[in-house]
Amino acid sequence: MKKRSVPAALGVALVVVAVTAVAALAQNYPKVREFRLERAMPAEAEACIECHRTEHPGLYADWARSRHASAGITCLDCHQADPVDKDVSQEHYRQYERSDTPWGRKEYKVPVAGVVTPKDCSRCHPDEVKQYSRSKHANTIEIIWKIDPWLNKGMNSDNERKTGCFYCHGTVLKMKDGKLDSATWPNVGVGRVNLDGSLGSCTSCHTRHRFSVMDARKPEACGQCHLGPDHPQIEIFTESKHGDIYAAFGHEYTWDSAPGTWTPGVDFRGPTCASCHMSGAGTVRTSHDVTERLSWETQAPLTVRPQDFKPFPARTDWKTERDKMAEVCGQCHGRKWIDDFYVDFDKAVEEYNEGYFKPAKAMLDQLYEKGLLDQKTFFDEKLEVEFYELWHHEGRRARMGAMMMAPDYAWWHGFYECKHRFNGFMEEANHLIKTGSKAYVYPTFPGTGGDTTRPPEIFGKQ
């Protein structure tokens, strides 16, 4: 048996090292985008477009003016499905049996799904979908089922949820008799559970069928869901100096800059929701994970760091994310301004946590322990409602108002209302403890009976 020469052995070793290095590096390779530009579209795609041009002219007009259309992306590139996919529309097959249109013939028959999911979008936008998948948006159904008494106690009806809560948070899509179940559709909620297993809906922000980046960059896109007594970010933004600048100069902004190139001071003067929480600035890269750049969870009952939010811990470090947000702010503000802003914000969080939430929560626990409040349901006793609204309404407004520099929401709609809610809660609670009386239970509570089963698609079989 011949001994391998030293140079030959060294060569083999170098090859092994090189192969190992390449394998280790491969995990960092970005996914290849499946994009193509063709000079013509297949006949099946042409049939889709021509049929929808007649049947749904508004839909067609949106697509025709989109970047997708300019790049040769047709209906089939997004909607075509495998015949065995769970979300294939059986009803759509009947379109190919029509005699009143030249496009309703069998030779154009293709399985399609009415719902376009992030998994579908990932064929061309893999990085954006990966970022979105780890965000609170995509996972919001899991979050609300872990913290929301309305769902867990069945204190609202299934239809109240579908037309209200789930319209923004998302439904768990199901099929019935070959078409989408009306109990779960229509819905483009940010956390929608799709039949292909993906979470969310890109069209929550990039509305169909234009899919405009301009649409998603404007604060009104976020204001579809982030409004009202419990999370009035659009109202807070409108009151803030940022919102005032947008109202005065928004018509001058360059909204349609290419993704990743939208630049403060060049394309826009004052920030929007997207420019702070998602768009790139300086060395901070664009991200579709809105959980990034957050240093506090201001929507939680007790304000915590994002990685300490038990229903959905962020895979981030709050100091790193605060530095990112500070760099975004630094495009227009000096470091002293930014540092002092965070001093104010952190102090507002501390005052809410220590002065309002913790004492109220301790009192609520004491009332339950003494049997003065009934734990079978929720919202059927006044003190339960008072405690809920202390953190869910006034407490959120106080923290978010401070966070977004809207003084009226930080004070009059926020801490001012917190004081009244807290005082009323504590007065009645102390009275119950002093007298040993049980809280009055509302004999009727309308609109209850919603299903309390947690979605097995998220939580598995219970």
Predicted pLDDT at 40: 78
Is residue 402 in some structural domain? yes
Q: Considering the domain boundaries, does residue 216 fall inside one?
A: no
Residue 285: inside a domain? no
Whether residue 363 lies inside any domain: the answer is yes
Average pLDDT over residues 371-400: 96
* Residue 262 maps to a domain: no
**High-pLDDT (> 70) share of the chain, %:** 92
Distances (CA, A) of 297 to 149, 290, 376: 19, 12, 29
Q: What is the mean pLDDT of residues 89-94?
A: 93
> What is d(CA 235, CA 246) in angstroms, rounded to the nearest whole number?
13
Give the residue-averaged pLDDT of 154-172.
96
Question: What mean pLDDT comes out for the span 162-169?
Answer: 96
In a domain, 48, yes or no: yes
The answer to the question of residue 429 being in a domain is yes
Token duo for residue 373: 């409040």
- Is residue 461 a part of any domain in this protein? no
Check residue 112 and report its DSSP letter. B
DSSP H or E run through 349: helix 335-352
C-alpha count within 13 angstroms, C-beta hemisphere, residue 428: 19
Which of 5-9, 162-166, 173-177, 249-253 has the least mean pLDDT?
A: 5-9
Task: Tell me the pLDDT tens digit for each residue of 2-28.
Answer: 444 545 555 555 555 555 655 666 666
Q: How many domains does the chain have?
A: 2
The DSSP symbol for 461 reads -
Whole domain around residue 106: which residue ranges? 43-115
Count Cα atoms within 13 angstroms, Cβ side, for 444.
2
| Entry pTM | 0.89
Of 231, 229, 264, 261, give the one whose Cα is nearest residue 249: 264
pLDDT, tens only, 120-161? 999 999 999 999 999 999 999 999 999 999 999 999 999 999
Summarize the confidence of residues 319-343 as an average pLDDT.
97
Asked if 451 contacts 158 with a C-beta cutoff of 8 angstroms, the reply is yes
Q: Bigger pLDDT: 6 or 391?
A: 391
pLDDT value of residue 178: 86
